[in-house]
Amino acid sequence: MITLLGEPKSNNTIYRSHCRFGHPVRYLCAKGKELKEQYYYEVKSQYKGELLTGDVKLEIKYFLKTKRKIDLDNLGKLVIDSLSGIVFVDDKQVVELHLYKEQPDPNPRVEIQLLG
């Protein structure tokens, strides 16, 4: 199990978008880059297995501090991206994904479990 500390963030708070030359551009904001770096080091310090090259199945549990309304599917991208290059080669390898959220929890965090 891999545990990422702190309040899980929605894609809506860590990604920004604007139009550039008539085309939409989406990018990771400064707060998002900081969180991605934090997650990267936490994953790297906890995962001691070999880099997976086949299909990957994940269970991710989000423990949120408040009961605010948040879409479960907006929580996953940054977490899964932080596993790329450490747990598996590319996030395209994820073939099965189970997402759960618990609210409220006094200890906000993300718990990631590799399945099968």
- List the chain domain ranges: 2-115
Q: Name the burial class of residue 49, with classes exposed (0-12), middle (13-18) and buried (19+) by CB atoms within 10 angstroms of its CB.
A: exposed
At 74-105, the pLDDT tens digits run: 888 889 989 999 999 999 999 999 999 999 98
Task: Please state, in angstroms and rounded to a whole number, the distance separating the CA atoms of residues 109 and 75.
Answer: 12
More confident residue, 25 or 5: 5
Report pTM. Answer: 0.86
| Span 54-83, average pLDDT | 90
pLDDT of residue 87: 96
Neighbours of 6 (CB within 10 A): 13
Q: Taking residues 2-17, report their average pLDDT.
A: 85
* Domain 2-115 class in CATH: alpha beta
Token readout for 100 is 């759960």
